[in-house]
Amino acid sequence: MNYINAHFVANTDSHNSLIKMAPMKLYGWAVSPWMARVLVCLEEAGAEYELVPMSRSGGDHRQPEHLARNPFGEIPVLEDGDLTLYQSRAIARHILRKYKPELLRSDNLQESAMVDVWVDVDAHQLEPIIRPVVFNVIIKPFTGSDCDQDLVDGSIEKLKKTLEVYEARLSSSKYLAGDFVSLADLTHFSFMRYFMATQYAEVVEAYPHVKAWWEALLARPSVKKVMAGMPPDFGFGSGNIP
Amino acid sequence: MAPVKVFGSAAFTNVARVLVCLEEVGADYEIVDIDFHVKEHKGPEHLARNPFGQVPAFQDGDLMLFQSRAISRYVLSKYKTDEVNLLREGEGDPEESALVDVWLDVEALQYDPAMSSVFFQHRVVPALGGTPDESFIGESVEKLKNVLDVYEARLTKHRYLAGDFVSLADLSHFPEAHYFMELPYAAVFDSYPRVRAWLEDLFARPAVKKVVSLMANDFSG
């Protein structure tokens, strides 16, 4: 276990009570899929945290106070004691390593490798395809820009090929890294949440094992709780612009 | 124990990333070339290793992995010792491994896209018979400078990215940097002395030198 050292009991529920810790702080806007990726992990871990809301339209992330936390001027940012972290999947790993290492399979080299593979598949194969669709189809109409339909159409074609890989994987494995839920599954939720709110949801639903896996994710209490803070229009429609 | 296998030519930056990890830990490994000219990467045998038809793929016994940074983590975790702990795992300071994760993601999601866009436009597009998109190159160079501004500040405070210890986060940068230094745009790095020094330090590592020689041998292929 990565977080065990001589001072603490092995990883059990009593672990947390032995350590007086200030709650972690997570800075950002809850509708952000990068933010939501971390929120799901905080909820799964049952960790104590404080959400520090920031305003995107107000440019909070570009202010010196925030740049001191994250010189890239992005959210989310996690403060855990005197440790400040950014990059959503790095934050997620830290939270799970500390509070719920079974979601990383830290004690099993081969299983943790499979978790790492599929976390990177999300980062490098899937998110780059669905992010521009979400941006063009949901956000651009609210910000007065034209949807780049050629880009969307091209992305959907790439998505189908990528989903074939997911379908094959989920046909032989209950979850992405194996027959256990892990960060590999959880990391996918936040961008998919918005993609599945578009008219292109049916593209995903055409793959039965992917559809079942998605529905299993939606049924998790952590996911339901975080989703409640993620209106499908990012809040633009109700005037709660992030 | 059978040597582990890496599928794909060392000339590919993502393959080189894995190779430098294997060299750093001193593991026994074998490189199995995948012939892109005959589309071997899209054939059924390779797709069984990497379902996206990409390189690298990696085999250790009956474990098959893909995605270079996932493979790198596995290699560094499996072969780690007290002296070679490039993920900062184990009994040490958990904050260190968190910072390795941060800067590895910065490499993957901020640095690599900016660097590889420029290389792709300048070297690969003409090789495929096209014309480089100079305005896209210009935008990519600007993005790269914004990223390097942050790196310069970071490396002014710490010897390496995650702290005063070398890690996967640093090593992961070298393959793109190696090719980028051959481009006219390499002059961008002249404005960033701490970044230059950090890269020179990485290139001086025996493991990196070994992989650079493997990359050079393969690139002409």
Short-list A71, A23, A29, A73, CA closest to A52: A29
Q: Tokens in use for A225?
A: 């709780």
Q: Which pLDDT score is estimated for B90? A: 82
Q: Which residues of chain B approach chain A closer than 8 Å at the C-beta?
A: 51-52, 63, 65-67, 69-71, 73-74, 77-78, 89-91, 94-95, 97-99, 101-102, 104-106, 108-110, 147, 150, 153-154
Local confidence band at B220 (pLDDT 50, 70, 90 cut-offs) = low
pLDDT in tens, B130-170: 999 999 999 999 999 999 999 999 999 999 999 999 999 99
Helix or strand (DSSP H, E) at A83? strand A83-86
pLDDT in tens, B182-198: 999 999 999 999 999 99
In chain A, what residues touch B17 (CB-CB under 8 Å)?
none
Short-list A126, A115, A120, CA closest to B68: A120
ipTM of the complex: 0.96
| Inter-chain CB proximity A117 and B98 less than 8 Å | no
| Inter-chain CB proximity B69 and A116 less than 8 Å | yes
| Inter-chain CB proximity B70 and A116 less than 8 Å | yes
Short-list A207, A204, A206, A171, CA closest to A189: A204
| Inter-chain CB proximity B94 and A3 less than 8 Å | yes
Beta-sheet pairing, A77-80 with A49-53: unpaired
Q: Which pLDDT score is estimated for B94? A: 87
| Inter-chain CB proximity A87 and B109 less than 8 Å | yes
| Inter-chain CB proximity A93 and B74 less than 8 Å | no
pLDDT in tens, B162-179: 999 999 999 999 999 999
CA-angle at B57, arms to A181 and B102, nearest 5°: 60
Short-list B102, B191, B107, CA closest to B145: B191
Average pLDDT over residues A142-155: 96
B76 in Cβ contact with B86 (< 8 Å): yes
pLDDT in tens, A34-55: 999 999 999 999 999 999 999 9
- Residue A121 to chain B, least CA–CA distance (Å): 7
| Inter-chain CB proximity A120 and B63 less than 8 Å | no
Sheet holding A77-80, edge to edge: A49-53, A24-28, A77-80, A83-86
End-to-end CA distance of chain A: 38
pLDDT in tens, B56-92: 999 999 999 999 999 999 999 999 998 999 999 987 7
B22 in Cβ contact with B75 (< 8 Å): yes
For B54, name the nearest residue in chain A, comparing CA atoms only.
A125
Cβ neighbourhood burial of B127 (10 Å; 0-12, 13-18, 19+): exposed
In chain B, what residues touch A123 (CB-CB under 8 Å)?
105, 108-109
Q: Which of B50, B85, B109 to mutate to test the interface with A (most CBs of A within 10 A)?
A: B109
pLDDT in tens, B23-48: 999 999 999 999 999 999 999 999 99
In chain A, what residues touch B147 (CB-CB under 8 Å)?
72
- Residue A76 to chain B, least CA–CA distance (Å): 12
pTM for this predicted structure: 0.94
A78 DSSP β-pair partners: A26, A85
Q: Report DSSP state, residue B4.
A: E
Sheet holding B63-66, edge to edge: B29-32, B4-7, B57-60, B63-66
Name the percent of chain B in helix, strand, coil, to the closest 5.
60, 5, 30
Q: Which of A110, A112, A169 to mutate to test the interface with B (most CBs of B within 10 A)?
A: A110
Q: Which pLDDT score is estimated for B124? A: 87
What is the Cα–Cα distance from B83 to A105, expressed in whole angstroms?
A: 24
Query: From the list A5, A87, A116, which residue is nearest B102 (CB)?
Result: A87
| Inter-chain CB proximity A2 and B150 less than 8 Å | no
More confident residue, A147 or A238: A147
Supply φ then ψ for residue B54, to 5 degrees: -120, 175
Residues contacting residue B50 through CB under 8 Å, at least 6 positions apart: B7, B41, B56, B57, B66
Whether the per-residue pLDDT at B21 is higher than 70: the answer is yes
Q: Which pLDDT score is estimated for A150? A: 98
pLDDT in tens, A173-213: 999 999 999 999 999 999 999 999 999 999 999 999 999 99
- Residue A224 to chain B, least CA–CA distance (Å): 27
Q: Which of A83, A91, A108, A191 to mutate to test the interface with B (most CBs of B within 10 A)?
A: A83
Local confidence band at B219 (pLDDT 50, 70, 90 cut-offs) = low
A30 in Cβ contact with A229 (< 8 Å): yes
Q: How many CB atoms lie within 10 A of CB A99?
A: 20
Whether the per-residue pLDDT at A2 is higher than 80: the answer is no
B64 DSSP β-pair partners: B59
The SS3 assignment for A80 reads strand
For B51, name the nearest residue in chain A, comparing CA atoms only.
A165
Q: Which residues of chain A approach chain B closer than 8 Å at the C-beta?
A: 2-6, 71-72, 83, 85-87, 89-90, 93-94, 97-98, 109-110, 112-114, 116-117, 119-121, 123-125, 162, 165, 168-169
For B61, name the nearest residue in chain A, comparing CA atoms only.
A110
More confident residue, A21 or A143: A143
Q: Which pLDDT score is estimated for A5? A: 39
Helix or strand (DSSP H, E) at A24? strand A24-28
The long-range contacts involving B109-115, CB below 8 angstroms and separated by at least 24 positions, are: B109/A87, B109/A123, B110/A72, B110/B147, B111/B144, B111/B147, B111/B151, B111/B173, B111/B176, B112/B176, B113/B143, B114/B140, B114/B141, B114/B143, B114/B144, B114/B147, B115/B144, B115/B176, B115/B177, B115/B180
- Residue A102 to chain B, least CA–CA distance (Å): 16
| Inter-chain CB proximity A71 and B153 less than 8 Å | yes
What is the Cα–Cα distance from A215 to A212, expressed in whole angstroms?
A: 5
What is the Cα–Cα distance from B36 to B206, expressed in whole angstroms?
A: 29
Local confidence band at B11 (pLDDT 50, 70, 90 cut-offs) = very high
Whether the per-residue pLDDT at A79 is higher than 90: the answer is yes
Local confidence band at A120 (pLDDT 50, 70, 90 cut-offs) = very high
What is the Cα–Cα distance from A41 to B149, expressed in whole angstroms?
A: 31
